[in-house]
Structure 1
Amino acid sequence: MKIAIFTDTFYPDINGVARTLKQLTNYFDEQKIAYKIFAPDSYSNEYISSHIHRFKSLPFFIYPECRLAFPNLLDIKSELQDFSPDLIHVATPFTIGLCGIYFAKKLNIPLVGSYHTNFDHYLQFYDLPFLSKIVWKYMHWFHRPCKKLFVPSIETFQQLTQHGFTNLEIWPRGVDCQLFHPNYDQEAVQRLYCAQRNFLLTYVGRLAPEKDIETLLAVAKSMPGELNEKIQWLIIGDGPLRDKLEAQAPENITFTGYLNGKCLAEIYSASDLFVFPSPTETFGNVALEALASGTPVIGANSGGVKNIIKSGVTGLLCPPGNVQEFTAAIIQLLNNLPLRKQMAIAGRIYALTQRWDRIFENLIWQYTEVIEEQKEQKYA
């Protein structure tokens, strides 16, 4: 099997799409499945691979981590003909994705797509709700040629079904439970970040409007005084709102910038709670990483996160943007150590069932089904 992936973001970009696709190509390497990635150039040139063909690009104004590339169609056609893929997988709906759809049709190559980002929900956070109908029409047009459209969660599946999408398949996300686990030296992390405080509360993600960090800041400011003195917040990530948020944040909030690997895993493990107010997630990888680390999650009852967190068992779900509910949930769990420990165990047990290899095995089966179906039509 030979797979060509067309995407407008790829490793070392820091976002859910890039990380998922890197996990997928790691699996391809392990299984000796041939692949070719067509992607924009990165803000960093630290990752070089013979499997990747990169193109000059500029940041997308709404979502700078996704880049608008300027692909050379002759180069793409030449590479595709040399590589002769059995299937094209289009992961993003921008310029590189459009090239994937064009060449799938032109060269008669089976085509599948994946839906990673809820751009329609993003619009309200950028004061662009009037573009909603246009966005949905474009998404319909873009994904119509796909034999299968993979979505990351039941919530996203239901949302797209309501908007008239067909051929949907759930392709969930996994977690590396060998990297993310509860057995790190938690006291060392707490000494480094907590100083004299009792509790470490963490957020991981992009610092952008669609993540609703404003609610997180309001929650931090609304904690009761006596409890607030015992809390240290860590905000891990970067983005367009960082300067504004740092200027408004109380003194017990520390902004670390982007962290990854073992450093990030250690902080998850040492945290008492993971607080994630984003209402726009199609999945919510960071919530699953927190559970794998034995950290209960307090999240927005919206998007893919509501399919990860079992409220009352592995964490608590709150109405999106409801400062009072988030505050009450944090107080409840910080004052109940036995319940936090119970949730930590339940979260880890759940995360252990979300294995990447099993998830990718199912994806390959779906690929095979599409390839075989086109062969049958060709020889019918």
Structure 2
Amino acid sequence: MVRVILTTDVYHPFVCGVTKIVDIFAKEIPRYGYRVSILAPAQMKEAYIYSRTDSVDRLYLKSLKFLAFYPEVNAPEIFSSFFAIRKLLNNGINGEKVLVHAHTPYLTTTLLRLTARMMKIKVPIILTYHTLVEEYLKRRFGFLRGVASMIDSVFMGDLLRKIKALIVPTEYAKKVLLKHLFKGFRKLETKFIKIPNPLSREDYVVPNKSASSYYGDLEDGKYAIWVGRISHEKNIQFLIKLFENLDYKLVIVGKGPLLKYFKRKASSNTLFTGFVNNDVLRALLRSARCFVIASGFDNMPLAVMEAMAQGTPIISYNKGGHTEYIKHGVNGYIYRNIKEAKKYIKNVFENDDIYEEMSMHARETSKKFHPDIIIPKHTRVYENFIG
């Protein structure tokens, strides 16, 4: 029996793309004969908490807020985490083979690596590179971004030397990371494997309610939508400005450090829903005329793929990994400036034939991310590195 340990620095109750993807893997890979453990930080009094639900072991590490870098990240307490991780790895010593599939490269994964080294056991590690950290550092650290970027470049290069493989969901992510690394590390490009992230099976389910049944002031098919973390790097100010003089409503789903700020700045045709559960999210995506995105920061935002699964065309800025899956004029549009964005939004809203055609192609595109397609690609990678 092989145990796959999924590591992450962000997990429930904070819900983001990485949280969702970890949950998808935890649910799907047991179908292929693997046992699953999730190693994640949590704010709690106990040194650690172990739980088992739905055939998945979860080990939560006592942690503190890591405010200096990313407010939603929890930094595990080192001493207690060592004993908790030691207990988890002992399962491998006692008969199971162990492989780590890391979904964040930093705190939790580093603690696991160091603990394994102290125990003198070799654990193969595969990392999926979700977040384009270089882009985030530019916006987060201002004039200190050069120093922060250099430290991260050294860290990622050293990590890349030690792991078995690095999975990139897009060619864009590969390009950005290689540029971020020092030249001496770029020869490790041979470890890169491109595999898109999976959607969940539930993402393809047609909701039994429309958006208007949840929000009385919304008219189905008469609004555009964006979903994500409300922060500087997402370029939400562009979306708000874009819709100021348009006759269509903009729905912004999610929460984040700038939610209150943008609520004050936005015009009356913008609705902020805050965080919503999956049933409401699917209804909002299904009833939207289009999904709009203005950020070039993203690697492969899960919300874009979730929108496609509900048949919602994508109107996107021409930068970001997700644009690799958008065919201009087929399942959405790619714009370069605000003038083009307004033109394409009007096309989708005012022409039913264009909308219906794009909606059909968006659903077809989303099938590429079905777990029955994506998860076996990952398990084949696992098999290559299991002793």
Same fold (TM over 0.5): yes
CA distance in 2, matches of 1:177, 1:23: 9
Matched residue, 1:89: 101
Contact 1:189–1:266 (8 Å) recurs in 2:
no
Matched residue, 2:51: 49
* TM-score (normalised: structure 1): 0.87
CA distance in 2, matches of 1:161, 1:252: 41
After TM superposition, the structure 1 = structure 2 runs for residues 166-181 of structure 1, keeping only pairs within 5 Å, are 166=189, 167-176=191-200, 178-180=202-204
* Offset at residue 194 of structure 1 (A): 2.1
CA distance in 1, matches of 2:305, 2:99: 30
> 267, 271, 282: which is aligned to 1:265?
282
* Offset at residue 339 of structure 1 (A): 0.8
Matched residue, 2:37: 36
Q: 1:65 is aligned with what amino acid? A: E
**Bigger CA drift: 73-82 or 211-220?**
73-82
Q: 2:6 is aligned with what amino acid? A: I
Matched residue, 1:67: 74
Contact 2:224–2:288 (8 Å) recurs in 1:
yes
1:296 aligns with 2:296: no
After TM superposition, the structure 1 = structure 2 runs for residues 1-380 of structure 1, keeping only pairs within 5 Å, are 1-41=2-42, 49-50=51-52, 51-61=57-67, 62-71=69-78, 72-84=81-93, 85-105=97-117, 106-126=120-140, 127=142, 128-130=144-146, 131-162=148-179, 163=181, 164=186, 165-166=188-189, 167-176=191-200, 178-180=202-204, 184-186=208-210, 188-189=212-213, 192-194=216-218, 199-223=222-246, 228=247, 231-319=248-336, 322-371=337-386, 375=387
**Bigger CA drift: 149-158 or 130-139?**
130-139
Distance change (3 Å), C-alpha of 1:184 and 1:36: closer
Could you list the runs of 5+ residues in structure 2 that have no partner in the other structure? none
Contact 1:14–1:65 (8 Å) recurs in 2:
no
**Bigger CA drift: 298-307 or 63-72?**
63-72
Distance change (3 Å), C-alpha of 1:82 and 1:179: closer
CA distance in 2, matches of 1:123, 1:354: 29
CA distance in 1, matches of 2:50, 2:10: 14
Contact 2:299–2:321 (8 Å) recurs in 1:
yes
SS in 1 for 2:216: helix
How many equivalent pairs are there? 361
Q: 1:350 is aligned with what amino acid? A: T
Contact 1:89–1:100 (8 Å) recurs in 2:
no
* TM-score (normalised: structure 2): 0.86
SS in 1 for 2:71: coil
Contact 2:224–2:289 (8 Å) recurs in 1:
yes
SS in 2 for 1:79: helix
Distance change (3 Å), C-alpha of 1:104 and 1:114: farther
SS in 2 for 1:86: strand
Distance change (3 Å), C-alpha of 1:3 and 1:211: same
* Offset at residue 262 of structure 1 (A): 1.4
Could you list the runs of 5+ residues in structure 1 that have no partner in the other structure? 376-380
* Offset at residue 82 of structure 1 (A): 3.0
Aligned residues: CA RMSD: 2.4
Q: 1:21 is aligned with what amino acid? A: V
Q: 2:24 is aligned with what amino acid? A: Q
**Bigger CA drift: 97-106 or 109-118?**
97-106
